Structure 1
Amino acid sequence: MPDSPGCTHCRDGEALDFAISMAFQPIVDLNSHQVFAHEALVRGPAGESAGSLLARLTDSNRYAFDQSCRIKALEWAARLPVPARLSINFMPNAVYRAETCIRATLEAAQRYAFPLQRIIFEVTEQEQVLDIDHLSGILRAYRKQGFMTAIDDFGAGYAGLNLLADFQPDLIKLDMALIRGIDRDSVRQILVDATLSMCRKLNIRVIAEGVETREELDTLRAMGVELFQGYLLAKPGFQCLPALQWPN
């Protein structure tokens, strides 16, 4: 069977044709009062938004972009250095063969002396995935390598319960649309409570992302959420680890 375009790019070492850098935002465990992980967020070399970079993606550079983001995240995580875990986003539609597409990540982790068990691979549910079996296979291959796995934007997109039926990640991140104003919205409270109950039974930890108000945080904590990410605690720091605003 001939190589896919992505495998050809990997073999030939094709580079991304524009520069990128990274920002970092903490995910905190409020029960232990510790940083659980930092999520690496792609930015331009002068701090340009992720959206401005994603707008430049095409079928021909998507694979190189995904690979470059992984390597740049590890480079900056080692340089800062990032404590605890590092959460790296990946694009499932840019992964052709999980076992070969992960090679550059493994090499970068070794080069920067970043332990594999401290890496979380995070897939967004908002990217349309046409083949759930393919995505499940990617996540299984990453877990086999010792990486933790997470589903981002849970409740917002394409995979949802179909993916959870086939693969149970270590973490899910509740989409911020479910979080916004949850202290005043009984429907959102019911949906999140049901998700938390399901995840407890599946042994999946839940992260509430996009938390912006103390009322949202207090409501979610009362519901049993332990892991939080959002502007209330810290905005992303460009090429740095931002200072945390711990709630009283």
Structure 2
Amino acid sequence: MRTRPSVFPIDFIPLAGTPQDCEDCARGAKLDFQFDYAYQPIVDVSRRIIVAHEALVRGPQGEAASTVLNQVNDQNRYRFDQACRVKAIKGAARLGFKESVSINFLPNAIYKPEICIRTTLEAARTHGFPLDKIIFEVTEGERIEDGPWFAEILREYKRCGFKTAIDDFGAGYAGLKLLSDFQPDIIKIDMDLIRHVDRKRARQAIVRSLVDLCREMSIEVVAEGVETPEERDFLRDAGVDLMQGYLFAKPAFMSVAPIPESAFGW
């Protein structure tokens, strides 16, 4: 496993948080609630294979994500973000994933990146999970107060060997401005743009334009929320091979969801 490169300069200024937050992360302070993960596959329809699994927060018995996220607050946000990384990597290793695992993170929870990244590196090393198989997703809908600061966080992740993704692209506050500051490895098109895309000309034009834009910048495109064969077939014709959604598999709690061969189409 590669040696971790240098981290942010000592005078790097955070957006939020306190030194205590970082001390809690460094000590591995425990949360006062439990959670686990369901995993949903991301498939390559052209090659008819699974290429990654997105880790989706669930309650300890598989309860909805909201039962966990409603317990996250300003006092435990940093510890929760760190615990998510460790638990998602541990779960992926336990399930024997050979494919990538995609982990959502909270950009406004990062106080000292060198500590936050160190926790992830240690988890990957402990569980024998390759760094280049870890994807960090951030939802475009997160209100990022300081775009250049956030872009620098993502650049540091890439320097460490992780892949990066912008989730729900087309649904939030950042949009093309975020893309101009930083080019991730992957963009995940928001499911609202995918829904009925085979019948909505405006959505078709937006998807085709995003595919062309990402191709020019060497960014992979994933279509989220694919639910029908018609959506799948339009997307494939538009040049999108990577897809995720109920057409292929629902999230499976602490397990791997099987994908019916028919889901891939022709």
Q: So what's the TM-score if we normalise by structure 1? A: 0.97
Cα drift, residue 16 of structure 1: 1.2
Cα drift, residue 8 of structure 1: 2.6
Post-superposition Cα deviations, 1:136-167, rounded to whole Å, max 9, x if no partner, equal 11101110010011000000001111111111
Equivalent residue for 1:167?
Answer: 182
Letter in 2 for 1:47: G
Equivalent residue for 2:241?
Answer: 226
Equivalent residue for 2:22?
Answer: 7
For residues 149 and 186 of structure 1, what CA distance do their matches in structure 2 show? 30
Letter in 1 for 2:24: H
For residues 61 and 158 of structure 2, what CA distance do their matches in structure 1 show? 34
1:131 equivalent among 146, 149, 152:
146
Q: Verify: 1:199 aligned to 2:210, yes or no.
A: no
* Contact residue 24 and residue 236 of structure 1 kept, 8 A: yes
For residues 13 and 70 of structure 1, what CA distance do their matches in structure 2 show? 12
Equivalent residue for 2:203?
Answer: 188
Equivalent residue for 1:76?
Answer: 91
2:253 equivalent among 238, 243, 246:
238
For residues 161 and 98 of structure 1, what CA distance do their matches in structure 2 show? 25
Instruction: Structure 1 unaligned segments of length 5 or more: list them.
Output: none
Instruction: Structure 2 unaligned segments of length 5 or more: list them.
Output: 1-10, 12-16
* Contact residue 22 and residue 239 of structure 1 kept, 8 A: yes
Cα drift, residue 52 of structure 1: 1.6
* Contact residue 91 and residue 123 of structure 1 kept, 8 A: yes
What is the Cα-based RMSD across aligned positions, in Å? 1.4
Q: Secondary structure at the match of 2:108?
A: helix
Give the number of aligned pairs: 248
Letter in 2 for 1:36: V
Mean CA deviation greater in 157-166 or 222-231: 157-166
Equivalent residue for 1:33?
Answer: 48
Equivalent residue for 2:122?
Answer: 107
Letter in 1 for 2:144: V
Among all aligned residue pairs of Structure 1 and Structure 2, give the percentage whose two residues are the same amino acid. Answer: 54
Q: Secondary structure at the match of 1:93?
A: helix
Cα drift, residue 6 of structure 1: 2.7
Cα drift, residue 31 of structure 1: 1.5
Equivalent residue for 2:100?
Answer: 85
Equivalent residue for 1:49?
Answer: 64
Equivalent residue for 1:98?
Answer: 113
Q: Secondary structure at the match of 2:33?
A: coil
Q: Secondary structure at the match of 2:198?
A: helix
Equivalent residue for 2:3?
Answer: none
Post-superposition Cα deviations, 1:11-38, rounded to whole Å, max 9, x if no partner, equal 3322111011111000001112221101
For residues 20 and 89 of structure 1, what CA distance do their matches in structure 2 show? 14
* Contact residue 18 and residue 111 of structure 2 kept, 8 A: no
